[in-house]
Chain A
Amino acid sequence: MIRPFAQSSIRRRLAVQLSLIAAILSLAFYLIVRAVAGQAATDTQDNILAASATSIADALYAEQGGVVLELPYSALSMLGSISQDRVFYRVIVDGETLTGYADLPPPEPDFATYAYRGEPVRAVAVRRVISSGGQAVEATVIVAQTRLGLAAISSSISSTAAAVGIGFFLFATALGLLAAQSALAPLNRLAQSVKRRGPHDLRPVKAETPSEMLPLVAALNNFMARLKASLSQSEDFVAEAAHRVRTPLTIVRTQAEVALRRLEKPDDKKAVRAMIRAVDECSRSAGQLLDHAMVAFRTENLLTDKLDLGDLTSEVCSHLTPTAGLKDIIIRHDLPTTPQPFTGDPILLQSALRNILDNAIKYSPADSEISVSFGGDTAYEIAFSDQGRGFGCADASSLKKRYSRGINVGDVVGSGLGLTIAEAVARAHGGKIDIRENKEGIGACVLLILPR
């Protein structure tokens, strides 16, 4: 089935349909008024013509064996008083023309319109029986008038009707547009309220909607509920899986370290060390997956604890100093001594800071420096600068996406979740992550920006 309007806007369809209806009604109004007015004008003319013919017929009388007519002045002057139309009359008695225009044909039926002397005329016939010389004779009085005055009346009424019709059409179309606008307003409101939502906002739509839209809204809410359930199910699954993998990994690592101490051959030691490193990476990835799931869960019901950002940062730094030490990396932190008050979820913030710093350690070469500094006037800017390889030329915003990594990291094991977690936390607190190349030329600088 072809639906020509399936793609076009509802408002345009409504407006077009309403204006079409208005046009049809206006046209009908115009035609009806014109017909009624024309009929009324014709009736008026017929009445006057009939009155004129009757007054002539009344003036017929029998005299000396013949029929005589005393044509009343008013009979013709009454026709002249309403319009400047030409007037013709004829009196026929017993088949003979008594007076008047002998070639004026009798109308068939008694009221008729026909052409006479080059113009359409309206003619009326009135019949009388007159007793003349002891016998009844039939007299017919015909009065005809041109239709100039009638045409003038009709055309003036027609043009008034046309003007009113056009006015009505324009008015109705304007009202139709307004009606279409207002009928679609709830739809626009709903669309706006859905559009305004954040990417992770899957709460049901609660905006007030007209009853016609309730099924749509209900379907939308139902769909979002299923989506949310499905999302949280998969997050739960990932968290569960990560959790379950991490514990055995810890056991494997401990066992591997125990085995390493027992081994003598350098080749064997090397292999087990590699195994331990792989287990570490694996465990780290599982941790990040857990972090990510936790972030997704916690940002939904964000805690608002009062905390000190400076303390939090230095805590994370000291926590990761041993990891950095394995690669002979020095974490130089230049943190303010005054309190840096902030309201938020300490566990999330910790996780964000840890992931950024962990990333920096991971991509820094051995025996290098990572500096952590505090800055910013209108917002907190916690900057992590390393001397690593930077991010290559990858698009900064794409780096923050899940499982996305820089283009020059092929040789380092990583999940690509670190910056995603940091970004999610920053957003949840109304801040953001900014990535730029280090000012000194080498390495990268990641800024966690949070509102003051």
Chain B
Amino acid sequence: MRFAYIAAIILALAPNAHAYEIEGRHSYPTASGEVTLHIISTADINVFEPIILAFQQENPSIGIEYISASSTELMKAISEEGAVFDLAISSAMDLQTKLANDGFAQPYSSAATSSLPQWAVWRSLIFAFTQEPAVLVVSEAAFSGLPVPNTREDLISLLRIHPALFSARIGTYDVRISGAGYLFATQDSRNSDSYWRLTEVMGRLNAQLYGGSGDMIRDVASGQLAMAYNVVGSYAASRLQEFPGIRIVQFEDYTNVMLRTALIPTTATHAAESGVMIDFLATLTQRPALTALTSLPPISPRALGENNANRPIRLGPGLLVFLDRLKKKNFLEN
């Protein structure tokens, strides 16, 4: 009886009997309802809904079926199972790059995409539409009387000086289950040697591992954690009002900037409408009211330039290195 119940849920969630797991499905049909764009995305629906509604206001004839899934499931759905989607949106840049490199994406170009900076497009296949820095979120209460670290070196020495204060009170991604966490960690390891010392220190202090940014921010706000390392900045920024006791620190040595990207899978049945959506996403900069609603920072070289430490993670084959089977194994072992 219980098995049947679970099966019913799975069937309800995945009517086509997919092997990949989805987290949610939301329909935004239109009155005319001629075309329905199937979007698979790693973003929570409440983050993305304002974009869908604004998009449909401009394009009332395009209905939208929004399926949220984790980045690895998204990858599996498209590369292994040939699932039919018109648009794949993910924050896992490495997986998106692999999809494009392995030939699962189709090219698209328009005036809007060519107005994007060079680092935000790869091969007319992947289009970035947000720039989200990885930040340190600290609890103001825990840091009362202590200097807030501005670099990783500062952080390491702080942790070494006050081990008792931070024991079991540091949160970071579990790189084994979080795509974004793995991406940030691999970029960290590439950018500086201090990363390995930092992980070592954090490991000794019994750091807590999380699957998502939301939980980490919540625990920092509640005081359970003194700080959370490598949190997606946009999530933290959107929670500032909700949790007044937290503070966002952007490191000055370097700050990885993750790009949320969209691509049109080769299986797409409405590639033209997908292009309309990509154009809409690429021009988010011109819709400040909308981006305020979603708290997704649009692509803006000017905003990026405000902090010299900002380093957008470069799209391209370099990202494939960390997806290498052996490499990933080695990295996780370390």
Instruction: Give the interface of A toward B (CB within 8 A).
Output: 68-77, 79-81, 84-88, 98-101, 117-119, 148
Give Cα A98–Cα B322 distance, bound, in whole angstroms: 15
Contact status of A87 and B317, CB under 8 A, knowing A69-B326, A70-B330: yes
Q: How far is the CB of A437 from chain B (nearest CB, A)?
A: 89
Q: Do residues B327 and A87 form an inter-chain contact, with CB atoms below 8 A?
A: no
Least CB distance, A57 to chain B, in whole angstroms: 14
Is B320 part of the binding interface, using a Cβ–Cβ cutoff of 8 Å?
A: yes
- Decide yes or no whether B235 CB sits under 8 A from chain A: no
> What residues of A have a CB within 8 angstroms of the CB of B302 in the complex?
none
* Residue B61 is within 8 A (CB to CB) of chain A in the complex: no
Instruction: Check if B324 sits within 8 Å of A77, measured CB to CB.
Output: no
Binding site for A on B (CB under 8 A): 100-103, 122-123, 190, 314, 316-318, 320-322, 324-327, 330
- A118 and B316 within 8 A (CB): no
CA A35 to CA B122, docked complex, whole Å = 29
User: Does the CB pair A117–B318 fall under 8 Å?
Assistant: no
**A148 to B100 CA separation, bound complex (whole angstroms):** 14
Query: What are 11 A-to-B residue pairs whose CB atoms are below 8 Å?
Result: A69-B324, A69-B326, A73-B318, A73-B322, A76-B321, A77-B318, A80-B318, A84-B316, A87-B317, A88-B101, A119-B103
Chain A contacts of B102 at CB under 8 A? Answer: 86, 101, 117
Q: Are B317 and A80 in contact (CB under 8 A)?
A: yes
Check if B321 sits within 8 Å of A72, measured CB to CB: yes
Indicate if the CB atoms of B316 and A73 lie closer than 8 Å. Answer: no
Q: How far is the CB of B288 from chain A (nearest CB, A)?
A: 30
Which of B122, B317, B325, B326 has the most A CB atoms < 10 Å from its CB?
B317
Alpha-carbon distance between A84 and B100 when the two chains are bound, in angstroms: 11
Determine if A70 and B327 form an interchain contact, defined as CB atoms under 8 angstroms apart.
Answer: yes
Q: How far is the CB of A402 from chain B (nearest CB, A)?
A: 89
Chain A residue nearest to B320 in the complex (CB):
A76
- Chain A nearest Cβ from B312, distance in angstroms: 14
Measured CA separation A79–B326 after assembly (Å) = 20
Max count, chain B CB within 10 A of own CB: residue among A80, A87, A99, A148: A80
Report B-chain residues with C-beta under 8 Å of the C-beta of A69: 324, 326-327
Distance in angstroms between the alpha carbons of A127 and B321 in the assembled complex: 20
Contact of B103 among A72, A74, A75, A86 (CB under 8 A): A86
Residues on the B chain within 8 Å of A75, using CB: 321
Q: Is the CB of B122 within 8 A of A84?
A: yes
CA distance in complex: A70, B102 (Å)? 22
The residue among B314, B326, B330 with the most chain A CB atoms within 10 A of its own CB is B326
Which chain B residues lie closer than 8 Å to A76 at the CB level? 317-318, 320-321
Point out the residues of chain B lying under 8 angstroms from A77, CB to CB: 314, 316-318, 321
Secondary structure call for the A interface: mixed
B residues near A117, Cβ cutoff 8 Å: 102-103
Chain A residues within an 8 Å CB radius of B326: 68-71, 98-99
| Complex interface: chain B residues within 8 A of A70 (CB) | 326-327, 330
Interface pair B318/A86, CB less than 8 Å apart: no
Q: Which of A73, A79, A86, A101 contacts B190 (CB 8 A)?
A: A73
Q: Chain A: which residue is nearest B187 at the CB level?
A: A73
How far is it, in angstroms, between the C-alpha of A148 and the C-alpha of B318 when the chains are bound? 17
Expressed in whole angstroms, the minimum distance between the Cβ of A51 and any Cβ of chain B is: 14
Q: Count chain B CB atoms within 10 A of each CB in A72, A88, A148 and give the residue with the most.
A: A88
Nearest 4 A/B pairs, CB to CB: A77-B318, A80-B316, A87-B317, A76-B317
The residues of A that contact B317 with a CB separation of less than 8 Å are 76-77, 79-80, 85-87
Which residues of A sit under 8 angstroms from B327, Cβ to Cβ? 69-71, 99
Instruction: Give every chain A residue within 8 A of B321 (Cβ-Cβ).
Output: 71-73, 75-77
Q: Distance (Å) between the CB of B259 and the closest chain A CB?
A: 15
The closest CB in chain A to the CB of B97 belongs to: A80
| Nearest CB in chain A to that of B331: its residue | A70
Are B123 and A99 in contact, CB atoms less than 8 angstroms apart? no
What CA separation (Å) do A15 and B322 show in the bound complex? Answer: 66
* A80-B318, A87-B101, A117-B102 known; A71+B324 contact, CB < 8 A: yes
Q: Which residue of B lies closest to A76 (CB)?
A: B317
Q: Which residues of A contact B103 (CB under 8 A)?
A: 86, 117-119
| Nearest chain A residue, comparing its CB with the CB of B121 | A84
| Beyond A80-B317, A85-B123, A99-B327, 8 extra complex contacts between A and B, CB < 8 Å | A69-B324, A70-B327, A76-B320, A79-B317, A80-B318, A81-B316, A86-B317, A119-B103
Instruction: Please tell me if the beta carbons of B314 and A99 are within 8 angstroms of each other in the complex.
Output: no
Bound CA–CA A74/B316 (angstroms): 12
For B100, B318, B327, the residue with the greatest tally of chain A CB atoms inside 10 Å of its CB is B318
Question: Of A72, A73, A75, A87, which is in contact with the most chain B CB atoms at under 10 Å from its CB?
Answer: A73
Give, as a whole number of angstroms, the nearest-CB distance from B332 to chain A.
Answer: 13
Taking CB atoms, residues of chain B closer than 8 Å to A80 are 314, 316-318
Give A101's nearest chain B residue, CB to CB: B102
Task: Please give me the residue from chain B that is nearest to A70 by CB atom.
Answer: B330
Q: Is the CB of B123 within 8 A of A148?
A: yes
Q: Is the CB of A86 within 8 A of B316?
A: no
Judging by beta carbons under 8 Å apart, are A100 and B324 in contact? yes
Q: Which residues from chain B contact A81 at a C-beta distance below 8 Å? A: 316
- A98 CA / B327 CA spacing, docked (Å): 11
Instruction: Give the docked Cα–Cα distance between A185 and B325 (Å).
Output: 80
**Identity of the chain B residue whose Cβ is nearest the Cβ of A75 in the assembled complex:** B321
Which B residues lie within 8 Å of A74 (CB)? 318
Nearest CB of B to A217, in Å: 70
Q: In the complex, which residue of chain A has the Cβ closest to the Cβ of B330?
A: A70
Give Cα A81 to B102, complex, Å. 18
B29 to chain A, nearest CB (A): 35
Q: State A74–B123 Cα separation when bound (angstroms).
A: 20
Q: How far is the CA of A86 from the CA of B321 in the complex (A)?
A: 13
Q: How far is the CB of B117 from chain A (nearest CB, A)?
A: 14
Complex Cα gap A366–B317 (Å): 125
Residues of A with C-beta under 8 A to B190: 73
Cα-based distance from A86 to B122 in the complex (angstroms): 10
CA distance A9 to B207 in the complex (A): 96
B132 CB, min distance to chain A CBs, angstroms: 21
The distance from the CB of A33 to the nearest CB of chain B, in whole angstroms, is 28
Which of chain B's residues has its CB closest to A52's CB?
B317
- Please, which residue of chain A has its CB at the minimum distance from the CB of B122? A84
List chain A residues, Cβ under 8 A from B330: 68, 70
Q: CB-CB < 8 A to A118: which residues of B?
A: 103
Q: Does B325 contact A84, Cβ atoms closer than 8 Å?
A: no
A371–chain B nearest beta-carbon distance, Å: 100
